[in-house]
Structure 1
């Protein structure tokens, strides 16, 4: 079994995810092509840091030296790493054995700056009947409309991404303070991908064969959580847009709104009228509710950024 020059960084912040963190670490160490090192970074939690340092073997355990939040936490681990490639796993994910190798295979092309793979849901209870395939991103997993074969893509998700260390360092890593913290859920991974592409000219690749599973607890399977997530996404995309150069537009989001979601409404309404299940009607309504919630969040954020007159 031959390893590859990759450091895996796993950020963590809460004792509530201890068992999940252990599963994540185990899956990272069990890769078919083992990494050079696995780094666990604890986000300003002294008790968890001591437990991780004591009980986790085969890994390096660090304390976050940056500001609180997922972005600073990941940066601490990434800037400690010395491998040519840096991969990230969230502490509520499990990587399939071939995850690392499939991602690393893309980096024989020097034009590739980063890559990401497929994220599958691990439902604690069951998938809600009203959840359309096109909106599975609300629970942090791959969704209908993404490539089904290896393809260039605008951005990947931090839960299972791999990036060249030199490209990551060139832009200073994730934007500290912008990202997941408490109830805030801003697209720090999308922002990073766009910044790296603009700075280095490097491409991002989507590799469906590279698979991780992402826990979806019961409290994230509710319609209330779903609406809050869409609202937060609307606000987050407006915040991210304000950070982008004027010539860098959110074309992927516009295409998703214009093509993918309308098709989802039509398809589910057609299925419902043909007697294939009343849940299809619920899914059509859910798409409309998602657009409304995201639009409302975007409007709120736009108003918040608008300077007062006079």
Structure 2
């Protein structure tokens, strides 16, 4: 596959992240080979859209053509592209050299429908001593239990992802109405991965060498956020299973719950007993609290959840929001 025939989509929604967006765009243009197009998709924010048009030279700027939310915003960007493979990067992330080439390389195998790279948390304040490695997904990072080398995996994260465009189109992209909006969080990237694999029998590859840094704001280091995020994940996984016709889609979660997390608890308690620091006991406690919060979220979704309606493409909200090359 020609590595140069790749586009990159960066979704964004707030001016607060403008410096990070500029850095993200710069890190993409610095990739070798350079992508043939960089698309910035703006989620229902006219001020941010106009600034991006003015101040991001060489970038295609689009307005989200779907309802508010990151799922429709990513779909807007990907559907504009014409390349066989499209990569996605979060607007506040920084792609290290070799990121794009690493994500694209596995597509030489026609059975690969998508890839994802390693995500390293970039902590705004010191990481809490109680925060377990197994729960780094709470802050959008790669966590203990993921492959250490390039290997097949059920799902990756859209903060650092590449998709085979024809399969993405086959499943109609990210599920609009199921994703991250405000404080509500749903695993729209996991859902996409499952649907793309099921549609073709293809597989996803995790590429640890394709590295990005992803910032962790100070507010996300608090126990309250940790528990809220676990609760939301529990709700989201139950809703995802419903949308994908049952619990078969949750095999990875069962392995995580029955193998990875018990080992984490046992290791933390054993280290604490051996006098290696109270932080190890705190980590074990955080694992148990996180599981409990996710369980409560799962029960809440079983009791109160409803199947979200599928939202179809519509005309751009802002009539003047045309793409700029």
Show the counterpart of 1:38.
38
Q: Could you list the structure 1 runs, at least 4 aligned residues long, displaced by more than 6 angstroms after superposition.
A: none
Residues 3, 104 of structure 2: 8 Å contact kept: no
User: d(CA) in 1 for partners of 2:3 and 2:237?
Assistant: 38
Aligned residue pair count = 306
Show the counterpart of 1:180.
180
Show the counterpart of 1:55.
55
In the TM superposition, what are the counterparts of 1:144-163 in structure 2 within 5 Å? 144-163=144-163
Residues 85, 162 of structure 2: 8 Å contact kept: yes
Show the counterpart of 2:129.
129
User: d(CA) in 1 for partners of 2:182 and 2:72?
Assistant: 14
Aligned-partner SS, 2:283: helix
Show the counterpart of 2:6.
6
Aligned CA RMSD, in angstroms, stands at 1.3
In the TM superposition, what are the counterparts of 1:226-305 in structure 2 within 5 Å? 226-246=226-246, 248-305=248-305
Q: Deviations over 1:216-241 (max 9, x none)?
A: 01011111100000000001111111
Residues 106, 205 of structure 2: 8 Å contact kept: yes
User: d(CA) in 2 for partners of 1:217 and 1:184?
Assistant: 17
Residues 92, 214 of structure 1: 8 Å contact kept: yes
Confirm or deny that 1:115 pairs with 2:89: no
User: d(CA) in 1 for partners of 2:54 and 2:275?
Assistant: 57
Show the counterpart of 2:311.
none
Gaps (5+ residues) in structure 1?
none
Residues 268, 283 of structure 2: 8 Å contact kept: yes
Higher relative contact order (CA 8 A, sep 6+): 2
Residues 112, 204 of structure 1: 8 Å contact kept: yes
User: d(CA) in 2 for partners of 1:81 and 1:101?
Assistant: 18
User: d(CA) in 1 for partners of 2:195 and 2:145?
Assistant: 24
Aligned-partner SS, 1:161: strand
User: d(CA) in 1 for partners of 2:272 and 2:151?
Assistant: 33
Query: When the two structures are superposed, what TM-score results if normalisation uses the length of structure 1?
Result: 0.97
Instruction: Assess, with a 3 A threshold, how the Cα gap between structure 1 residues 298 and 106 changes in structure 2: closer, same or farther.
Output: same
User: d(CA) in 1 for partners of 2:204 and 2:23?
Assistant: 28
User: d(CA) in 2 for partners of 1:65 and 1:305?
Assistant: 27
User: d(CA) in 2 for partners of 1:68 and 1:148?
Assistant: 36
Query: When the two structures are superposed, what TM-score results if normalisation uses the length of structure 2?
Result: 0.92
How far off is 1:29 after superposition?
Answer: 0.7
User: d(CA) in 2 for partners of 1:306 and 1:188?
Assistant: 16
Gaps (5+ residues) in structure 2?
308-325
